[in-house]
Each structure stands twice: as structure tokens, then as C-alpha cells.
Homo-oligomer: A and B are copies of this chain.
Amino acid sequence: MNDALKPASEPTLSDVAALAGVSRAIASRALSAQPRPVSADKRERVLHAAEALGYRPNSLARGLANKTVNLVAILVNHIHDLSDLDLFDLLLAEIQAIGKQVIFIRVGAGEDAEDFLRDGVAYHVDAALVFADFADAATVRRMFRNNAVLMLNGHHEPGAPSVTMDEDQGIREAVADAAAKGVRSALLLTGRSMSRVEQARIASFRAAMRQHGIALLGELAGDYSYASGRALAQQIDVDATGAVFCTSDAMAMGVLDAHRRYFPGHAPERFRLYGFDNISLTQFDAYPISSIGADKRDYVAQIVRILNRPAGLARHSEHVLVATRFVPRLTG
């Protein structure tokens, strides 16, 4: 088939090289981001040819040859928690800023992960960021044919680096705040308890309350959602309960709405209310919930720093802790 009959398709490096009158190797070097030996005039010709043809390098082919794809996978259970909104937009922006693209993988309840493995649908990526609860590093490594796994779900295994929020710190501050305000008894509303992060939170609350002599009246199992907080709030004995600690802001919002008559003008009348994650919604007037959270910019910066490390994540497994703090608002 001669050129005239060739179907219109994307120009390749060969086309550029042909138009510029150089070899493919020269064209490749001229177009490379790294400095490569090419004479000035040939470089010029190649660049012009590429421009004229509207040439776009094929990332797949480049990745195959390079074994570096500039692709990062983010594994999540889902993205419908309110706190996700604050985090992922920032994370996405920062990862793109270092020249990588983000492939989002939603593994749902957790069983689906096995499907990914079996079907081999997963991409070969430079690194995998694991927010999903279930996943252990080994599974994720197999999933992505890659050792560069960054654990962000509270697990920290010897082989893989991790960035974890030091939630204990913020929890202690919040409980101390309650104790200082005379709280003697409290209820704890929890989320999905199978999660490592959640278990750590619960343990921290228990320890801090014990330390401050606050009686733990009970633990009610929710699922982080507004609806679960709204429903569980019915079980709160407002006369006996000094404070309600929730492991998500959304649950605290549900509690607040259920008992809003006790928060006239948002001043705590019966019990104090504490949320978790310090989501931006707590800045809305209707939900002035005292909360616990880390500086998201700091958290994301730590993740990106590890991602950007030339050595890669595989070798030395660094475990980074990001500080959280108590953020007082009207309810706490």
C-alpha cells in the first residue's frame, strides 16, 4: 500500500523522522525530555516536522520500551464519603503536578479485588496508592505487577512504605477538651470496624477516656454515613451522656440533626458532640461540629514526596506519621 492509499491515522515517530529526513533514533532523541546528543539543526527539523504532523508520542509504546509509564493507581473502596472530596481533588492535582497520571480504581466492598486479580484487568503502574481498607501490600503488588505500593489505609507492613495519620494525637486532644469542660461520660459512634484505621481510632478513644476518667457508656456501630448517625442518635440518653464522639463528621451531622433541639443556637445544651476528619462541610453554619483532622496539604505532600523519590518505594519502607489536631467549633 503506498502512502496515498494509507488510511489516515496517527502520525508515528517514523513519519516524523521521514519528514525531517533523519533516522528514527534521531527523531526519538530530539523529542526526548532528557538531553540527548542531537545536532542543533536536526533537532530543529525534527521539532518542526512533529509540529507539522501534529505528532503525539504514544505513551503505551514509550512505556513498553521504557518500563516506566508515569501512571499511578489509586485504590479506594469508593468515593462517596464527604471527606473524600477534600482529599482526592488535592491529591489528583499534586500527582499531576509531578507529571504522572492517575488511574482510579474502585474496589467496592472488597471481594471485587479478587476479580481484578483473576481477570488481570489491572494496569502496570509505577506505583499504587492504597486507601482501600481490605488490601494488603502483597495482594496489591500482584495486582499491579509492581512493588511500589504505598499503604495509606493504616496498614504498615515491613515491605511497603506508609503514610498514616497520627490520629491518636488529635483524639487525645479532643477527649482532653471534653474532660476539661466537665464531661464524665460519653458514647462512641463507630464506622466500619473491619478497617485498621477504625480499630486504631476506637482504641485511642478508649485509652484517652480511661485516662481522663470519662466513662464509656457504649459503642454504637454505624458506617460513617449521615444516615447511620441520624439513626443511632435515637439511642442516646441525653440525660446521662456528657459527650458523643463520632468517628466521622457525617455521623456527627446526623446526630446533630437528630438532637438539634438540644443545640439551640448551636450552643451545646445537653451533650457535647465531636466529629472526625475535619471535613470542609463543618465550616457550614448548619454543622459547626468540633472535629479532629490533619492538615490535608501536609498529608498529600508526604504522599507525593514518597512518590517522587527517585529510589522508588520498593526498597526502604518508610513509615510516615502525619499529625492530627483537635479543631474546636461550636458543638465541642
User: Using a CB-CB cutoff of 8 Å, which residues 250-301 of chain A contact chain B?
Assistant: 253-254, 256-258, 260, 284-287
Known A-B contacts A285-B257, A285-B260, A287-B286; the reply to A89 vs B103 at CB < 8 A is no
For residue A59, which residues in chain B have a CB less than 8 angstroms away from its CB? 120-124
For residue A286, which residues in chain B have a CB less than 8 angstroms away from its CB? 253, 256-257, 260, 286-287
Asked if A106 contacts B89 (CB within 8 A), the reply is yes
Asked if A70 contacts B142 (CB within 8 A), the reply is no
Query: Given A79-B92, A92-B104, list of 14 further CB < 8 A pairs?
Result: A56-B122, A56-B143, A60-B64, A60-B69, A71-B103, A80-B86, A92-B106, A99-B121, A101-B105, A101-B122, A101-B123, A102-B104, A254-B284, A256-B286
Cβ of A141 to closest chain B Cβ, rounded Å: 10
A96 within 8 A of B: yes
CB-nearest residue of chain B to A250: B284
Asked if B106 contacts A96 (CB within 8 A), the reply is yes
Which one of A63, A99, A258 has the highest number of Cβ atoms from chain B below 10 Å of its Cβ?
Answer: A63
A4 within 8 A of B: no
7 shortest A-B CB distances, which residue pairs? A257-B285, A286-B286, A80-B89, A56-B145, A92-B106, A79-B89, A103-B103
For residue A124, which residues in chain B have a CB less than 8 angstroms away from its CB? 58-60
Interface of A toward B, CB cutoff 8 Å = 10, 31, 33, 54, 56-61, 63-64, 69-71, 78-80, 82, 84-86, 88-89, 92-93, 96, 99, 101-106, 108, 119-124, 142-143, 145, 226, 230, 253-254, 256-258, 260, 284-287
Given the complex of chains A and B, what is the CA–CA distance between A88 and B88 in angstroms?
A: 12
CB-nearest residue of chain B to A81: B85
Interface CB pairs A-B, < 8 A, 24: A31-B120, A57-B120, A58-B64, A58-B145, A59-B120, A59-B121, A60-B69, A60-B123, A61-B64, A64-B64, A79-B88, A80-B85, A80-B89, A82-B85, A96-B106, A99-B121, A102-B103, A102-B104, A102-B105, A230-B285, A253-B286, A257-B285, A260-B285, A260-B286
For residue A254, which residues in chain B have a CB less than 8 angstroms away from its CB? 284
